[in-house]
Structure 1
């Protein structure tokens, strides 16, 4: 009994390789093969580029949220005192902050005053969100106290104020300049509440990396903020940072217990949850669209293989009469299609990874060629287009491309395997 050849034997690879590199005059389909190869390469490149930019944008956005703000704010519900006046805030904020610091996993608990004011300098105005913090608490905010593009000395914060780089640019301010803050909720007089206007020295300019923060935020020493906003003896909230902000829900019960009966929580997910959910939906839609592109590119393999099977009908008939089984014929043409898909996938992954790694110079070149203004931080929130290459994204792109390429190859390969050798040679 003749020995049965194993699947994907050497002669099957040899025949497939001869068909792939055959010239058109010899019945080959090199042009269609190249079209399929280029299509898969570009589709996989687009998929990996999209996934890396998607992951980079999300990571940068979340990092600016966590790096320039507390992870959760503990604030008090409004209460009515015995005189019928509505009060809010924590009069015992120091004790509450101390209890919160004792919770395992809490890194920082900072009493804070929050208010709005109009900033004025050099004949120009800007709306500002003013936050009152101590110097030690301000220095512990990662993107504020340790920002990469700061100016001034944060140790001088108690002698002035800290402003965002966007406000400084809009009002033409430098470290050491004077900035006037104007709020309508000033001193109460028999004639009503008069606006409060006070000038402060700019001692520190920070860049948090978020357009909306850098263009609106001002930090003021805590005691000065209490006086300026008529919040003597109280804190509006306690800003808390934790070790694992992704698991912020695990801290809620302990924080509510430390905050007292009137305590309420506002987490970073509450603050930006709608935007993050929109990003998730957009991520899923983009993955589906890019997957369709990969499928379309993979379908080109079918066209090439059908033409190859048609042109090689005589060869198939001869090979069958020589003893090749249907399985061997199927595997020969499967190798032809799978080889195209594999090489295209490898090339696409290489281009996609290079794009993600060198996105900054690529984006700078595109921005220069288009005359600038391609990326508007006032719309997108962050200052540049980030990319984050993740192994899971690369593997999903590779798996999708190879899977589709192998699946679509089976159909024309089965057609070649089932070809009747008598019919194939009848008119030869």
Structure 2
């Protein structure tokens, strides 16, 4: 009894390879193979490029948030004064900051004084948000203290003011220049409250990486901010940094318990939750749309295989007559379709990875061709188009492409296997 050859034997690969190299008379098959290959390549490339930009955008967005903002903000629920005004000042801010800093997982807790004022230099004005913070605590803000494009010396913070690069550009001020801060809630006199105007030397200019922060953020020494905003002996909130910002929800409960029942917490997820949810929805929709694109490209494999089966009907009849089983014929044509899917996937992964790795020069070239202004940071919030290549994204694209390619190949391969050899050779 003859031994049955194992599946995907060498002769099956040889036959499939010969069929893929169509002769000139069967050029239509070769053209369809190339169309299928190019389609799969471009679809996988688009999927990986989109996933990389999506991951990069989220990482850049979250990184700039965490680099210049508190992971958790601790504030007072407030008390109503005798004048009927809700006072949310924290008078025991030093003790509260020490208590919160002792919570496991907390890296820093700093009292803040905050207020919105107008910054002025000659004929230029800009609305800014002032953060009063100590010289030691400002060094713990990565987006400010570790800014790669920073100008000046943060060691001189107590001698002046630190401003964002957008504020400096708006006012036309550089290091050593003096700007005025104008607050409507200033000195209280017998005739009412008069605006307070103080001039400060710019000793540090930072770039946090987000346009809205760089355009509005100003830092004052803590004691000076208390005096400027009439907060002597009090703070507005406690800025808390934690080791794992992604797990901030679990940390919030411990911080709230340490602060007592008179305080509330507000995490960075609460502040940016709407945007993050919008990003998540957009990610899912884009993945579905691009998955359909991959499916459409994979369907070209079906068209090519159907043409191949039609052109090779006589060959199939001969192969079946000399003893080739239905399974062997099916595997031959499955190899033809799967080979196109695998090769297209590999080329798509290569192009997608190169795009993610070299997105900066590619984007610069596109910006040059369009005459500049393609990316507006005032609208996008960040200064450049980011991309982050993650192994999980690449694997999901590969799995989707190969899965669809193998799946759609089964049907024309089954059709070839079930072809009646008598019918195929009737008119030969």
TM-score range, shorter chain: over 0.9
Superposed CA offset, 1:35-85 (max 9, x none): 000000000000000000000000010000111111001010120245655
Extract unaligned runs of 5+ from structure 1. Answer: none
1:39 aligns with 2:71: no
* Counterpart in the other structure of 2:353: 353
* Counterpart in the other structure of 2:300: 300
Superposed CA offset, 1:358-400 (max 9, x none): 1111111111111111111111111001100011100000000
Query: For 2:36, what is the secondary structure of its paired residue?
Result: helix
Return the offset for 1:258: 2.7
CA contact (8 A) 1:28 1:311 kept: no
1:376 aligns with 2:376: yes
Distance in 1, matches of 2:53 and 2:38, equals: 22
* Counterpart in the other structure of 2:426: 426
* Counterpart in the other structure of 2:12: 12
Return the offset for 1:33: 0.3
CA contact (8 A) 1:112 1:239 kept: yes
Give runs of aligned pairs for residues 89-104 of structure 1, distance below 5 A. 89-104=89-104
Query: For 2:103, what is the secondary structure of its paired residue?
Result: coil
CA contact (8 A) 2:182 2:197 kept: yes
Return the offset for 1:254: 2.5
TM-score by length of 1: 0.98
Return the offset for 1:100: 0.9
RMSD between aligned residues: 1.1
Distance in 1, matches of 2:214 and 2:6, equals: 67
Return the offset for 1:260: 3.0
1:329 aligns with 2:337: no
TM-score by length of 2: 0.98
Equivalent residues, number: 428
Residues 317 and 139 (structure 1), Cα distance of their counterparts in 2 relative to 1, 3 Å cut? same
Query: For 1:239, what is the secondary structure of its paired residue?
Result: strand
Return the offset for 1:28: 6.3
* Counterpart in the other structure of 1:128: 128
Return the offset for 1:89: 1.3
Extract unaligned runs of 5+ from structure 2. Answer: none
* Counterpart in the other structure of 1:21: 21
Distance in 2, matches of 1:189 and 1:79, equals: 25
CA contact (8 A) 2:252 2:267 kept: no
* Counterpart in the other structure of 2:77: 77
1:224 aligns with 2:224: yes
Distance in 1, matches of 2:111 and 2:26, equals: 81
Superposed CA offset, 1:256-308 (max 9, x none): 23323320101000110000000000000000011000000000000000000
